[in-house]
Amino acid sequence: MSLIRAIGRKVKGAIKNRNYRKWVFRFNQTHSTRVSADAKIDENTELEKHVRLDPGCDFRGSIVGRHTYAGNGSKLPNSVVGRFTSIADGCRLIMFTHPIHFVSTWPGFFHTINSPDIIKHFNDSTPFFEYLHCQDGRSVHIGNDVWIGQNVTIKNGVTIGDGAVIGANALVTKDVPPYAIVGGVPAKIIRYRFSPEEIQFLLSVRWWEWDDQTIELYSPCFQSLAKFHEKLDLEAAAINQNKI
């Protein structure tokens, strides 16, 4: 009987996997996305157009902005990720914590929602909520135009600002300001991509909210912030001139 049950489970698993692949295929067609059949999304996942999720990704329950991609094995469930964000392979979350202010951090001295049955509980009456999250209940918030390097680990509850860069193998335990470059274990600010005035300018322009046609029009200037700023100033001056 055990062999029959094992075969039955395999058959059910194969059918479920085949149905999921069909669902992902239809999802890609209707949403203009490129989600691998080996990536995990669900009915609570919201993807804007031209999102790419490679094999092994897990973005169940997440919201992901357009033109964002995630490399092999990146797992950011229940997160919010902005537009034009680049996530390399192997990005992971630290979803749980232990009470370092207790005498012991071992789970047997307090009660958690995920306490394994194999652990003896010396005191299960002391509650400790070990699941980390942002104020809105999301795992993490990652802004627009963010670049996350390979094998980065992010602690739940963290917000990464627009335009930030996270170096490969970094451990992000605190919020990252917009346009900061961080790296290391734990991650620390190395420098900023631009001056404070330039950062404020980019945050006010919010080019990632433009439609694709407008972005394509300005794209030759994206290689130089000075040229980008100059083109916007010329456009503004032309508009003001037409109003006179």
Which residues are known catalytic residues?
A: 101
Q: How far apart are CA 16 and CA 89, in angstroms?
A: 26
DSSP assignment of 89-111 equals: TT-EEE-B---TTSS---GGGSB
Evaluate whether 128 touches 145 at the Cβ level (below 8 Å): no
Q: Which two tokens stand for residue 187?
A: 């991650």
Element (H, E) at 171: strand 171-172
CA dist 176 → 85, 99, 129, 158, 215 (Å): 15, 24, 24, 8, 26
Residue 180 burial (C-beta neighbours within 10 Å; 0-12, 13-18, 19+)? buried
